[in-house]
Amino acid sequence: MIKRIVEVSNPSYLHLKNKQLLVEQDHDIVAQVPIEDIGVLILEHGAISITQPLIIECQKNNTTIIFCDEKHLPYSTILPIVEGNNLHQKILKQQINITEPVRKNLWKQIIQKKITNQANTLKQFNKNAGRLNKLVTQVKSGDATNCESLAAQYYWKELFGKDFVRNQNAGGINSILNYGYSIIRAMIARSIVAGGLHPAIGLFHHNQYNGLCLADDLMEPFRAWVDSLAYQIYKENANISITKEIKVPFLNLMSESVEFKNKQMPLMVSMYYLTANLKRNFTKETKVLHYPISHNQINNK
C-alpha cells in the first residue's frame, strides 16, 4: 500500500496517542494520523518538538523521519536499525561479501540507466540527447571511463543552458533540485532498511561519514525524474525559491504510477521491488538490476 508523506512546517508539538501521530499547535490538535499510514514524516520548522515514544513508534513502522535545516532543505534522516527483516544478519553478510565483478557490473547498469533517463528528460523537452545516447553505449564495468561525468557535463548545459552550474550550495533552481533529490534519497533508504540491507554499505559511494551510501548509489537514475519536474518549474520562473507550493510535485512523485517489469505500481512501492532485485544480484540469482520506468520514459522511447 502507498504510504502518506506528512510535512509539518509550523511550530508544533508532535506526540503519540493510540498509535497515532497528534500534531498540536497552540494547545489545539490540528492533525491526527495513524502511524502505520505514514511513510515519511518531514519536520521543517525549528520550533517543532517531538516525543521519544512517537519516534520509536515511527521506527517500528519503518516511517522515515526527515529533519530540515534553516534553508528548508532535508538535512538528516532517522531510520530503524533493528526492524526490517528477520534474516538481517544473513543478508548483511551477502551485501558485505559481494565480489568486485558483481559490484562493478551493478554500477555499470546504474550509470547506464542514469544516462538513459537523462537522455529521456532532454527528449521530453525537445532538447538534443544525441551525445547521451552515444555515451550510454560506452559505459564499461565500474564506469571505468567515467561516462557519468562526461554525460553530466553535457546534460546540465543542454537542459538549463550554457551558463548553468550545478552547485549543491547555491540557491534558486539548485536548491529545488536538492530538495527533490533528498525526498528520493529518503524513500530509497527506507526501502533498503525494510529489505534488511544496510544503507551505509554502498556499491560506489563509500564516504565513511555518509550513512546512506547505498541509497546514494541506487537513487542515481531517479535524479533525472527530479530534474524533469524542476525544469518545468524553472521554465515558468527562473528566479524560483523553495515554497510550500514548489514542494508539492516532488512529494507527489512518490505516488506517481510507474512500470516495473510490466506491472503498474506507485513509485514508492517499486522501490521495494528494486531493493529485492538488488539482493538477488548479491546472491548471483540474477545479473540484471531492474529499475521502474516512468510514463515519460515510455513515451520517449
Read off the CATH number of the domain in which 137 is found: 1.20.120.920
92, 150: one domain:
yes
124, 173: one domain:
yes
Q: Indicate whether 83 belongs to any domain.
A: no
Rounded-to-integer distance, Cα 157 and Cα 161, Å: 5
C-alpha cell at 20: 497515532
C-alpha cell at 38: 505514514
Q: Indicate whether 131 belongs to any domain.
A: yes
Confidence (pLDDT) at 242: 85
**The last residue of a domain, from among 78, 106, 126:** 78
Which range of residues forms the domain containing residue 164?
Answer: 88-299
DSSP tag of 285:
S
Decide: 62 and 80 in contact? Cβ < 8 Å.
Answer: yes
DSSP tag of 287:
S
136, 55: one domain:
no
Q: Which residues contact 291 (CB under 8 A, 6 or more apart)?
A: 113, 221, 260, 274
121, 232: one domain:
yes
**The last residue of a domain, from among 78, 98, 124:** 78
55, 93: one domain:
no
What is this structure's pTM? 0.84
**The last residue of a domain, from among 53, 78, 103:** 78
Rounded-to-integer distance, Cα 84 and Cα 110, Å: 25
152, 293: one domain:
yes
74, 92: one domain:
no
Q: Indicate whether 170 belongs to any domain.
A: yes
Rounded-to-integer distance, Cα 148 and Cα 42, Å: 31
Show the beta-strand stretches assigned E in 85-125.
Answer: none
144, 266: one domain:
yes
Closest CA to 14 of 190, 251, 42, 189: 42
Taking only the tens of pLDDT, the chain with its 301 residues reads 678 889 999 999 999 999 999 999 999 999 999 999 998 899 999 999 999 999 999 989 888 899 988 877 788 888 776 554 455 677 888 888 999 999 999 999 999 999 999 999 999 999 999 999 999 999 999 999 999 999 999 999 999 999 999 988 888 899 999 999 999 998 999 898 888 888 889 999 877 667 789 999 999 999 999 999 999 999 888 778 888 889 999 999 999 999 999 999 999 999 999 999 999 999 889 999 999 998 765 555 5
59, 104: one domain:
no
Question: Which CATH number is 53's domain given?
Answer: 3.100.10.20
38, 182: one domain:
no
Q: Would you give the end-to-end CA distance of the chain in angstroms? A: 29
Domain count, the chain: 2
179, 34: one domain:
no
22, 130: one domain:
no
